[in-house]
Amino acid sequence: MNNTNTVKFPLLEGILEMSNLPLKPMYTVHEVAAIFRVSTRSIQKWMSRGRLSSRSMPGRAKFLSQDLEGFIQQSCKERRK
């Protein structure tokens, strides 16, 4: 978890903690694939299908922590249906 003891992204931070990965302000496709333990191709498919949104920044697609938190929240809602 982060140093201030406030949890801004509870679902994402829980996943990161289980994998012993740090919370970062921005992630690459490769990092997101590692977080969710899927291939980079899976991340690209999620993006093309509109399930996961990326940000247009210099270089390749980037994901903010809030993007990943929203994706996880949406995934939880989809499973409940």
**In this predicted model, what pLDDT tens digit does every residue of 42-79 receive, in sequence order?**
999 999 999 999 988 777 889 999 999 999 999 877 66
> For the chain, how many structural domains are there in total?
1
For tokens 């406030």, name the residue.
Answer: 6
Q: Cα 38 from chain centroid?
A: 12
Could you list the residue range(s) of the whole structural domain that residue 35 is in? 24-80
> What's 61's domain CATH number?
1.10.1660.10
* 47 domain-assigned: yes
Q: What is the pLDDT of residue 1?
A: 47
> What is the value of pTM for the model shown?
0.82
Q: Cα 63 from chain centroid?
A: 7
Q: What is the pLDDT of residues 13-44, one digit of tens each?
A: 999 999 999 999 999 999 999 999 999 999 99
